[in-house]
Homo-oligomer: A and B are copies of this chain.
Amino acid sequence: MTDQPPPSKSRRAFVREAPETRRAALIQAALELIGEAGYRSATTRAIAERAGVTLGLIRHHFHSKEDLISAAYDAHMSAMSDLSLAPAERKDLPPDQRLALVIEANLTPPVMSERNVTLWASFIAQIPNEPGIRTTHDRTYLSFRDRLEALIAETLSAQGRAVPADELRRLATSCNALIDGLWLEGGACPTGFAGDDLVAMGQDRIGVLLGVTLNRF
C-alpha cells in the first residue's frame, strides 16, 4: 500500500509544511511531553520525534529551545484561559450562572488534571531561568483575574449590590486564589476527591465569599 519509493540514498521522506503548522506541532509535542513526564523528558530530540520531524527543525522554526518553551507556555495558558472562561461569554445566561459555570470549568477536566498541574509547575519552576516565562505568567494571571473580577462585578450588580473598586479587587483576588487552590489540590491528588466534590466546594465557598448562591443550577 504505502511503500516508500526508495529515494536516491535512503533519506527520510518528508512533506513541507507551513511554518505555523510546524511551530504548532512542535509546541504541542513539547506540551505533551512535559505534561506526561515532566520538563526533563522534553529534550529537543524527544520533542522532534513526537512531532514527527527531526531535531534540526526546532532551531529552524525557533530561535532556541528556550524560545520554543516560552511559546509553548504562552499557548498552553491561553488555551486554558479560553477553556475555563468560555462560559463567561454566554450572554444568554445570567451572570451568577455564568460564574458557577466558570468555576465548574476550572475544577473539572480538561482544565483540572494531573497533566496540567505538572505542566503548570514545570513552567513556574523555570521562572528563575527564563525571563520570558515570568512575563507570560504575570500577563495571563492578571488577565484571568481581571475577567473574573468583571464577572463578579456583573453578578453583584445584577443583585443590586455595588462594592468599591478596591474591595472588588480583593474579592476577585480571593476567589481566584480559592479556585487556584482547589484546582491544585484536585490535580495533585486526583484520587482524593469524589466526583464533583471540588466543584460543589468551589461554587459553595465562592458563593459565601460573595454573599450569593451559586450552586444547584
Contact = CB atoms under 8 A, between A and B. Distances in A.
Interface of A: 36-41, 117-118, 121-122, 124-129, 137-138, 141, 170, 173-174, 176-182, 184-185, 188-189, 192, 197, 201, 204-205, 208-209
A4 B13 CA distance: 65
Contacts of A38: 125-129
Contacts of A177: 177-178, 180-182, 184-185
A104 to B, nearest CB: 16
Given A121-B121, A180-B180, 5 more contacts: A39-B125, A179-B181, A180-B181, A205-B209, A208-B208
A118 B127 contact: yes
Contacts of A209: 205, 208-209
Top 3 A-B pairs ranked by shortest CB distance?
A: A177-B181, A181-B181, A121-B124
Given A118-B127, A124-B121, A208-B208, A141 B201 contact: no
DSSP majority for the A interface? helix
A1 to B, nearest CB: 37
Contacts of A141: 185, 188-189
Contacts of A192: 138
A42 to B, nearest CB: 11
A138 B201 contact: no
22 contacts: A38-B127, A118-B128, A124-B188, A127-B188, A137-B188, A170-B197, A170-B204, A173-B182, A173-B185, A173-B201, A174-B201, A174-B205, A176-B185, A177-B178, A177-B180, A177-B182, A178-B205, A180-B185, A181-B181, A205-B209, A208-B209, A209-B209
